[in-house]
């Protein structure tokens, strides 16, 4: 995006521009027809203002979290920081500089703007308070400073420290706000206005006269050292012009450039297309799907170009003519009638004002000079002023509930109910520049920031969450259809999501480079229209916004007829997949119903049996969807392979602390096809656990083993046992404690069933802790960062309300890496509170705790905590070195999410990673396998001298020696079968010196 040209009276031409990349400045090299890059602070990141003073010195403004001004006297080779954090509060507006002693910078806070004077020594002084500063600048020949705003035009002869209002402008200047000054080599000045006038001064701004040769051009001017004028007339004609006689005559050179820029595309209910184009500086219309275009005008005595257009699906339209007057049509633009002016504008009546149609179906008017916003709920008859300050260059994004989002360096939301505006938190607090923000008709908000990250805010949830799907893709624009499907135009193609951004499907590539996109529109017939800078409008060859749905029910067929009979159970979670034009997954709900959304194409539909006791009645069911909005219903019953119970058990707790109570939750379920009479659970406590109480009475006790009777468990029946324990103060800090559960009857009727009748969990007690974190376990033990292939991983997510009021609801969202973990194998487990769970899209595991009413930690530290765990299997045969990373987002009510730590597991084969070792002799390499250790354990050492004296020691978690050997060779083994479960430290000594230490884990016999 072009920002500014900088051309000192004697010196090269500089071009400052920004896009989604860092800011850049290039310098034209005369005689070479080329440009050279100019160095900027921070590599161009956060640069918002760039100015070259008459001496050729650089002044650069950067804004990450606080505004900073930088100065360079050597062409950018080095920079001095002139200001510190907080000295220039607010948002950057403009920058002007004359020499080391005089620089002006305009900053805004809300609707107020302040003009500061800064010198090279870093002295800062506020000199002007205003509402809307339109221009600041210095005459390079004299150093006289000028600024203009909505109240007038002002002049300073002391570099901007004191100001006098200019009263010598001709009468034509009434209400003509000056927006630019052009300075000649001998000090003469041309002043242009927003109303299209130009005024001239030959005495450094003391007296002025109208300069008719430039009247009405309303343009940007460049004047060369030789006196040649160039006019860049925005988007209107002549787009480019040149004058060599001070504007007396002009040569149109527009044909040397090709910039048919389209900035807006709309379609009315009658099928007419509208496009705002630079070649007309207004709207054009097409009645034949874009094949032919003509100027779109409103007849009010004479034809008027349309500068702003708001379209609603019921045929109602509002327009702003080139005379800056508002008009209304009730018949899709066939006829128009003038409506009353909205409100006395702060500045001049302007064609920069804009109409918008909100997602709530109401019309909005944005005043470009007062920055006021008005809303009409009666189609433009009356208007209500909203309590919102809206900068002219910002883009409004409308929510269906009437809220308005916009970016002005930070993300803001106007709350329609409260009628106020507040800043929204964006994770990692990026400075928001040139971002794409979009709200769908269903209320989901999407935000793409300069750093390349993409966030979403789901309707009803005020927090933004990061979408990892776009980690390797840069998004340049979002658009959505009326159904709420969202489209992301990215560096790697066009993606569509029909589930609020949980899953994305590549629907093709854009016809031009996506970063050149200037406008997009999805019509009700599901065709996408796109416009690109320097190009024409394109329409997708086919409707690409279909929302096809596959739905049905999963149940247990009890009589083997594969038909639903009254009373047959649907209370099971089963994965349903559609494979063909992509792979799509959903889970049946508690009532057995499932829903899949897929694009057009042919698919094979399957249900995955929860375990070996079931098998599908049908498989590879062929379906075809041709859209748009096609649907098909397919029921997928499961028949019983064998009638027998299948009991599973799981347990966990939020955290373990010495001298504190802990609540363990034991979760049990009959996942089989027959009742389990006389079921019971035996729970084995760690020796440092002191039993306090339980939610189910203790039926029997044998030392540290407690038995709990459950009675008969029907198929699908599940439940919890809460066990309250105290952790002994005699436990060492960091000591590992193991707790296990065994459910009976534990016989498996099929050899293919995985034995889940026993479960153990070994964890260290902790001192200080992060109350919201994530832990990962393999075989019940927290792994030190590595895992064998084809091994199940269990995740524990702990949360605590550290706020100042109860949390009414808690939601956890865990996006598992589906390239490494199989989402079809996700199985939720124990939790501290009742929950609902769901899987959204491909691998977004969602746990909701509705009505949890979690106390805050200051009111009740113990009850303010909670947890949930789930297990998931790896994809088959992952290669060694594969890294499985995972985090979770925890939402407390409508607060920003708490992002947990990241867990990391590296795939390997019976090895111990270097990260679990301390190496004291770099020449010695020790490998211990397997780890976790069971039975015979192999120790192999390299780098040992032939005659070295070797000693191997194993120390338990209490610091006591459990094993010591003096092997005669560097390769040996020992028997770990009789060692108690837990964590051990091994020591490998050579010639009386400690060479390597590390951790070993014992988890079984």
The pLDDT > 90 percentage for the chain reads 22
DSSP H helices, 436-587, are none
Q: Are the C-beta atoms of residues 502 and 519 closer than 8 Å to each other?
A: no
Q: Are the C-beta atoms of residues 586 and 596 closer than 8 Å to each other?
A: yes
- Is 309 a residue whose pLDDT tops 90? yes
Confidence of residue 823 (pLDDT cuts 50, 70, 90): confident
Q: Are the C-beta atoms of residues 455 and 495 closer than 8 Å to each other?
A: no
Confidence of residue 202 (pLDDT cuts 50, 70, 90): very high
Supply the pLDDT for residue 332.
87
Same fold, 548-640 and 770-908: yes
Of 140-149, 319-328, 633-642, 929-938, the poorest mean pLDDT is in: 929-938
Burial of 558: CB neighbours in 10 Å, binned 0-12, 13-18, 19+: middle
- Is 742 a residue whose pLDDT tops 60? yes
Q: Are the C-beta atoms of residues 831 and 806 closer than 8 Å to each other?
A: no
Q: How far is C-alpha 418 from the geometric centre of its chain's CA atoms?
A: 26
Output the six-digit token pair for 502: 């949980």
Q: How many residues does the chain have?
A: 1005
Supply the pLDDT for residue 842.
60
Supply the pLDDT for residue 238.
41
Name the residue ranges covered by the structural domains of the chain. 548-640, 770-908, 914-1002
- Is 460 a residue whose pLDDT tops 70? no
Supply the pLDDT for residue 993.
78
- Is 621 a residue whose pLDDT tops 90? yes
Supply the pLDDT for residue 915.
39
Supply the pLDDT for residue 450.
66
* Average pLDDT of span 963-982: 84
Q: How many CB atoms lie within 10 A of CB 481?
A: 26
State the architecture of 770-908 in CATH terms. Answer: Sandwich (2.60)
- Is 30 a residue whose pLDDT tops 60? yes
Burial of 561: CB neighbours in 10 Å, binned 0-12, 13-18, 19+: exposed
The DSSP output letter for 462 is -
Element (H, E) at 6: strand 2-6
Strand partners, 127: none
User: How far lies 37's CA from each of 14, 24, 691, in Å?
Assistant: 10, 8, 72
Q: Are the C-beta atoms of residues 502 and 839 closer than 8 Å to each other?
A: no
d(CA 935, CA 952): 17
pLDDT in tens, 392-407: 667 889 988 889 988 8
What are the φ/ψ torsions at residue 525 (nearest 5 degrees)?
-85, 10
pLDDT in tens, 54-91: 988 999 988 754 578 999 999 888 999 998 767 888 77
* Average pLDDT of span 363-377: 85
Which runs of E-coded beta strand occur in 527-611? 528-532, 537-539, 548-553, 556-557, 575-580, 582-587, 593-598, 601-608
Strand partners, 811: 848, 891
Supply the pLDDT for residue 913.
38
- Is 319 a residue whose pLDDT tops 90? yes
The pLDDT > 70 percentage for the chain reads 84
Supply the pLDDT for residue 692.
93
420-423, strands of its sheet edge to edge: 397-398, 404-408, 410-415, 420-423
- Is 639 a residue whose pLDDT tops 80? yes
What are the φ/ψ torsions at residue 37 (nearest 5 degrees)?
-75, 140
Q: Considering the chain, what is the average pLDDT of its residues?
A: 82
* Nearest in space to 874 (alpha carbons), one of 967, 964, 952, 776: 776
Which residue in this structure is represented by tokens 């760039």?
50
- Is 924 a residue whose pLDDT tops 50? yes
d(CA 796, CA 794): 7
* Nearest in space to 236 (alpha carbons), one of 277, 194, 195: 277
* Nearest in space to 957 (alpha carbons), one of 687, 690, 684: 687
Supply the pLDDT for residue 128.
92
Strand partners, 71: 59, 80
* Average pLDDT of span 654-676: 89
d(CA 116, CA 105): 5
3-state SS, residue 554: coil
d(CA 48, CA 194): 24
For residue 906, how many C-alpha atoms fall within 13 Å in the half-sphere facing its CB? 12
Q: Are the C-beta atoms of residues 354 and 370 closer than 8 Å to each other?
A: no
Supply the pLDDT for residue 279.
62
Given this structure, which CATH class describes domain 548-640? mainly beta
Q: How many CB atoms lie within 10 A of CB 652?
A: 25
3-state SS, residue 43: helix
One DSSP character per residue, 633-658 reads E----EEES-----EEEEEE-S---T
- Is 327 a residue whose pLDDT tops 60? yes
- Is 346 a residue whose pLDDT tops 50? no
Q: Which residue has the higher pLDDT, 569 or 52?
A: 52
Q: How far is C-alpha 19 from the geometric centre of its chain's CA atoms?
A: 19
One DSSP character per residue, 199-266 reads EEESSTTSS-EE-GGGTT---EEEE-TTS-EEEE-TTSSSSEEEESSTTSS-EE-GGG-----EEEEE
d(CA 324, CA 345): 11
Confidence of residue 451 (pLDDT cuts 50, 70, 90): low
Of 510-524, 699-713, 873-887, the poorest mean pLDDT is in: 510-524
- Is 113 a residue whose pLDDT tops 90? no
Q: Which residue has the higher pLDDT, 42 or 709?
A: 709
What residues contact 969, with CB distance under 8 A and at least 6 apart?
950
Which pTM was predicted? 0.46
914-1002: CATH number: 2.60.40.1930
Q: Are the C-beta atoms of residues 700 and 652 closer than 8 Å to each other?
A: no
* Average pLDDT of span 774-792: 75
Q: Which residues of 808-846 are buried (b: 16+ CB within 10 A; e: fewer)?
A: ebbbbbbbbebebbbbbebbbbbbbbebebebbbbbbbb
Q: Which residue has the higher pLDDT, 578 or 428?
A: 578
Q: Which residues of 239-275 are buried (b: 16+ CB within 10 A; e: fewer)?
A: bbbbbeebbeebeeeeeeeeebbbebbbbbbeebbbb
Q: Are the C-beta atoms of residues 980 and 956 closer than 8 Å to each other?
A: yes
Burial of 946: CB neighbours in 10 Å, binned 0-12, 13-18, 19+: exposed
d(CA 47, CA 27): 17
Q: Which residue has the higher pLDDT, 782 or 973?
A: 973
- Is 255 a residue whose pLDDT tops 60? no
Q: Which residue has the higher pLDDT, 241 or 358?
A: 358
For residue 69, how many C-alpha atoms fall within 13 Å in the half-sphere facing its CB? 31
- Is 172 a residue whose pLDDT tops 60? no
- Is 408 a residue whose pLDDT tops 90? no
- Is 147 a residue whose pLDDT tops 60? yes
Supply the pLDDT for residue 351.
58
Strand partners, 938: 929, 973
Confidence of residue 607 (pLDDT cuts 50, 70, 90): very high
* Nearest in space to 345 (alpha carbons), one of 381, 393, 313, 383: 383
- Is 590 a residue whose pLDDT tops 70? no
Strand partners, 155: 146, 164
d(CA 903, CA 785): 8
* Nearest in space to 550 (alpha carbons), one of 497, 598, 509: 598
- Is 173 a residue whose pLDDT tops 70? no
């Amino acid at each position: 995006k072009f920002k500014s040209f900088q051309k000192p009276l004697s010196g090269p031409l500089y071009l400052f521009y920004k896009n989604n990349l860092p800011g850049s400045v290039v310098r034209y090299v005369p005689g070479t027809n080329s440009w050279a890059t100019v160095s900027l602070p921070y590599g161009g990141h956060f640069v918002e203002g760039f100015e070259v003073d008459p001496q050729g010195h650089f002044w650069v403004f950067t804004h990450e979290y606080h505004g900073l001004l930088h100065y360079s006297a050597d062409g950018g080779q080095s920079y001095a920081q002139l200001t510190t954090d907080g000295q220039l509060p607010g948002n950057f507006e403009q920058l002007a500089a004359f020499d080391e002693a005089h620089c002006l910078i305009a900053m805004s806070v809300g609707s107020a703007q302040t003009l500061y004077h800064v010198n090279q020594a870093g002295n800062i002084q506020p000199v002007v308070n205003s509402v809307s500063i339109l221009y600041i600048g210095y005459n390079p020949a004299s150093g006289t400073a000028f600024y203009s705003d909505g109240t007038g035009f002002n002049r300073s002869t002391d570099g901007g420290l004191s100001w006098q209002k200019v009263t010598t402008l001709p009468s034509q200047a009434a209400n003509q706000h000056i927006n630019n000054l052009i300075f000649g080599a001998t000090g003469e000045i041309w002043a242009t206005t927003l109303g299209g006038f130009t005024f001239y001064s030959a005495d450094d701004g003391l007296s002025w006269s109208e300069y008719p040769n430039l009247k009405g051009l309303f343009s940007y001017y460049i004047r060369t050292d030789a006196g040649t004028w160039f006019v860049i007339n925005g988007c209107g004609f002549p787009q480019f012009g040149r004058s060599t006689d001070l504007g007396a005559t002009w040569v149109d050179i527009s044909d040397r450039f090709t910039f048919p820029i389209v900035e807006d595309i709309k379609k009315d209910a009658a099928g007419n297309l509208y496009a705002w184009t630079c070649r007309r500086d207004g709207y054009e219309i097409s009645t034949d799907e874009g094949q032919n275009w003509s100027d779109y005008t409103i007849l009010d005595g004479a034809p008027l170009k349309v500068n702003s257009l708001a379209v609603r699906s019921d045929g109602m339209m509002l327009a702003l003519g080139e005379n800056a007057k508002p008009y209304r049509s009730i018949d899709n633009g066939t006829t128009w009638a003038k409506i009353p002016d909205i409100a006395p504008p702060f500045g001049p009546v302007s064609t920069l004002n804009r109409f918008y149609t909100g997602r709530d179906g109401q019309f909005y008017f944005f005043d470009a000079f007062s920055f006021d916003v008005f809303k009409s709920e009666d189609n433009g008859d009356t208007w209500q002023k909203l309590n919102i300050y809206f900068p002219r260059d910002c883009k409004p994004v409308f929510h269906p509930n009437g809220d308005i989002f916009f970016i002005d360096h930070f993300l803001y939301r106007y709350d329609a109910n409260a009628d106020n505006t507040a800043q929204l938190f964006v994770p990692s607090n990026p400075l928001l520049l040139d971002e794409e923000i979009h709200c769908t008709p269903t209320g989901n908000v999407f935000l793409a920031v300069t750093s390349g990250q993409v966030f979403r805010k789901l309707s009803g949830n005020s927090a933004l969450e990061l979408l990892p799907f776009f980690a390797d893709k840069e998004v340049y624009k979002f658009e959505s259809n009326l159904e709420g499907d969202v489209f992301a135009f990215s560096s790697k193609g066009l993606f569509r999501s029909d589930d609020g951004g949980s899953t994305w499907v590549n629907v093709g590539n854009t016809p031009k480079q996506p970063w050149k996109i200037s406008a997009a529109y999805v019509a009700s017939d599901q065709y996408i229209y796109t416009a690109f800078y320097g190009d024409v409008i394109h329409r997708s060859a086919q409707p690409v916004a279909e929302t096809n749905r596959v739905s049905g029910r999963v149940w247990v067929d009890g009589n083997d007829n594969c038909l639903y009979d009254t009373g047959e159970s649907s209370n099971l979670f089963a994965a349903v997949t559609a494979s063909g034009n992509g792979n799509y997954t959903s889970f049946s709900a508690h009532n057995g119903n499932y829903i899949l959304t897929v694009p057009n194409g042919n698919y094979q539909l399957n249900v995955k049996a929860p375990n070996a006791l079931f098998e599908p009645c049908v498989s590879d069911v062929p379906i075809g969807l041709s859209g748009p909005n096609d649907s098909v219903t397919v029921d997928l019953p499961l028949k019983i392979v064998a009638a027998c119970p299948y009991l599973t058990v799981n347990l966990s707790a939020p955290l373990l602390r010495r001298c504190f109570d802990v609540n363990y939750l034991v979760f049990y379920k009959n996942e089989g096809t027959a009742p389990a009479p006389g079921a019971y659970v035996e729970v084995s406590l760690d020796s440092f656990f002191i039993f306090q109480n339980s939610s189910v009475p203790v039926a029997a006790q044998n030392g540290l083993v407690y038995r709990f009777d459950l009675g008969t468990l029907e198929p699908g029946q599940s439940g919890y046992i809460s066990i309250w324990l105290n952790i002994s103060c005699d436990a060492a800090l960091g000591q590992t404690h193991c707790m296990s559960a065994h459910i009976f009857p534990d016989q498996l009727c099929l050899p293919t069933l995985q034995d889940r009748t026993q479960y153990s969990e070994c964890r260290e007690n902790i001192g200080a802790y992060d109350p919201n974190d994530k832990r990962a376990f393999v075989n019940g033990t927290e792994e030190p960062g590595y895992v064998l292939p084809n091994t199940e991983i269990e995740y524990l997510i702990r949360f605590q309300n550290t706020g100042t009021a109860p949390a009414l609801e808690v939601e956890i969202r865990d996006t598992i890496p589906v390239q490494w973990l199989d989402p079809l194998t996700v199985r939720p487990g124990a939790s501290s509170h009742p929950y609902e769970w769901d899987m959204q899209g491909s691998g977004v595991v969602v746990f909701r705790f509705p009505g949890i009413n979690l106390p805050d930690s200051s009111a009740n530290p113990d009850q303010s905590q909670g947890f949930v765990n789930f297990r998931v299997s790896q994809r088959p045969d992952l290669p060694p070195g594969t890294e499985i990373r995972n985090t979770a987002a925890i939402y407390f009510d409508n607060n920003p999410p708490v992002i947990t730590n990241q867990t990391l597991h590296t795939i390997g084969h019976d090895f111990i990673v270097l990260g679990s070792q301390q190496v004291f002799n770099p020449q010695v390499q020790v490998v211990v396998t397997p780890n976790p250790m069971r039975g015979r354990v192999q120790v192999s050492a390299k780098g040992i001298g032939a005659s070295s004296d070797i000693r191997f020691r194993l120390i338990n978690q209490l610091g006591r020696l459990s094993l010591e050997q003096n092997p005669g060779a560097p390769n040996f083994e020992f028997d770990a079968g009789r060692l108690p479960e837990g964590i051990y430290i091994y020591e490998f000594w050579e010639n009386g010196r400690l060479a390597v230490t590390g951790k070993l884990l014992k988890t079984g016999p």
